[in-house]
Copies of this chain bind each other. A is one copy, B any other.
């Protein structure tokens, strides 16, 4: 494809948008981009509130106009590319879909939009084959994981994608582990620091990771995975007690998104590959590199037939890491460089809602006799084999928390076992069950 002179309409001008503006309009950066054959200017910016003061150091009225009406960008025939940084899936959807239909190239950081409306986006791109679609910034801020999956694995077969994809929860879990701070206190701290939202659900309930792993699963395995079909457990039930028990196992706990090939497809019988995708806190052995990624850092580990295991580590969010990913999409577009097939070829996959693992099960009880026998009985009924029982010295007989780890078994069996155990009279709440990596 030929080089392209880009006139950009940007939607949203908050933290990331301001960063994108700076990276494209700072005179030093601009000179370096021009030297690399990139000609791009943000000619209009659409924001909700025109009177809000913006932190744009190198803003120039000569090049850029603000508007609060998004049709003013979509209808502007001189604009050939939009950058969507509004978030959400209502206005952002209208804008992105509208732009594609008008033949404008799209660059977006919107994981929820890309993950939830992938079939519609693919359909629109098929109808508008000249439109290019960049979404590097939608997953793991500054880690070039989308481009890497688009390019570095084309001749390879991926068997697993797993990673820490949410910096807020990783920050919280690291604090709980190292400083023994309770969940509620650490959440409040994260909110005070601006890491977590006032309504923290997207982060702590795992929905943010759900969208991200859905996107990576498409690139890894070819099939569209609907986010709402992904079994998702957040971190809100994790306590410092869980870290104590994980430590006994020389492990820690991380919130992971995982997409795993269970069974390769068979082209001859047209059997699609079987894939399992989930989001859950996971017990991770200290020897695994994932265990050592603390704070707001993200990591994505990819297993594949040619490369064995590769990991990509970096800043998962923040103004300049995310803006850098947006600008990389701008650069590839302006230079006429690939990928031209942003979601790679689509092939059906069978999503297997169940997955196999060893599990960590934390049970909260009022102490008494016959407890281990009763729990053993329920495990046997659910066909779950117990691997170990961990019990710290009991301090308060009315509130005892202990951990059972299982042999390799399925999520559905463990869930059944925990539901059964929850009905026992001495059990105080449904046990927490999370996989062990």
Contact = CB atoms under 8 A, between A and B. Distances in A.
Interface of A: 1, 23-24, 28-29, 31-33, 35-38, 142-144, 147-148, 151-152, 154-156, 267, 289, 292-293, 305-315, 320-321, 323-324, 327-328, 330-332, 335-341, 344-345
A336 B338 contact: yes
Q: How many copies does the complex hold?
A: 2
Contacts of A338: 332, 335-338
A293 B293 CA distance: 13
A310 B325 CA distance: 13
Given A36-B341, A344-B36, A155 B308 contact: no
Contacts of A292: 289, 292
A29 B312 CA distance: 25
Given A28-B267, A345-B36, A306 B332 contact: no
A323 B306 contact: yes
Contacts of A32: 155
A322 to B, nearest CB: 9
A321 B339 contact: no
Q: Which 3 A-B pairs have the closest CB atoms?
A: A337-B338, A310-B314, A306-B324
A152 B156 contact: no
A292 B294 CA distance: 14
9 contacts: A28-B267, A142-B307, A143-B310, A144-B148, A154-B331, A308-B315, A310-B315, A311-B314, A337-B338
Nearest to A1: B1
Nearest to A326: B155
A403 B330 CA distance: 52
Contacts of A154: 33, 36, 38, 327-328, 331
A306 to B, nearest CB: 4
Which of A35, A156, A336 has most B Cβ within 10 Å?
A156
Contact of A151 (B1, B147, B305): B147
Given A36-B341, A142-B310, A308-B314, 8 more contacts: A1-B336, A143-B310, A151-B337, A155-B324, A289-B289, A307-B314, A309-B314, A310-B315
A292 B306 CA distance: 23
A342 to B, nearest CB: 12
Given A28-B267, A142-B310, A327 B155 contact: yes
Which of A36, A152, A309, A335 has most B Cβ within 10 Å?
A152
Contacts of A315: 307-310
Contacts of A340: 335, 337
Contact of A307 (B152, B320, B330, B336): B320
Nearest to A344: B36
A430 B327 CA distance: 51
Nearest to A291: B292
B321 A306 contact: yes
A328 B152 contact: yes
Nearest to A298: B310
A250 to B, nearest CB: 14
Contacts of A307: 142, 314-315, 320-321, 324
B152 A144 contact: yes
A37 B341 contact: yes
A31 B315 CA distance: 37
Nearest to A147: B151
A345 B37 CA distance: 10
A156 B156 CA distance: 29
A22 B284 CA distance: 35
Contacts of A308: 142, 314-315, 321
Nearest to A141: B307
A137 B23 CA distance: 31
A378 to B, nearest CB: 39
A328 B23 contact: no
Contact of A33 (B143, B155, B313): B155
A372 B394 CA distance: 55
Given A37-B341, A338-B332, A156 B324 contact: yes
B306 A320 contact: yes
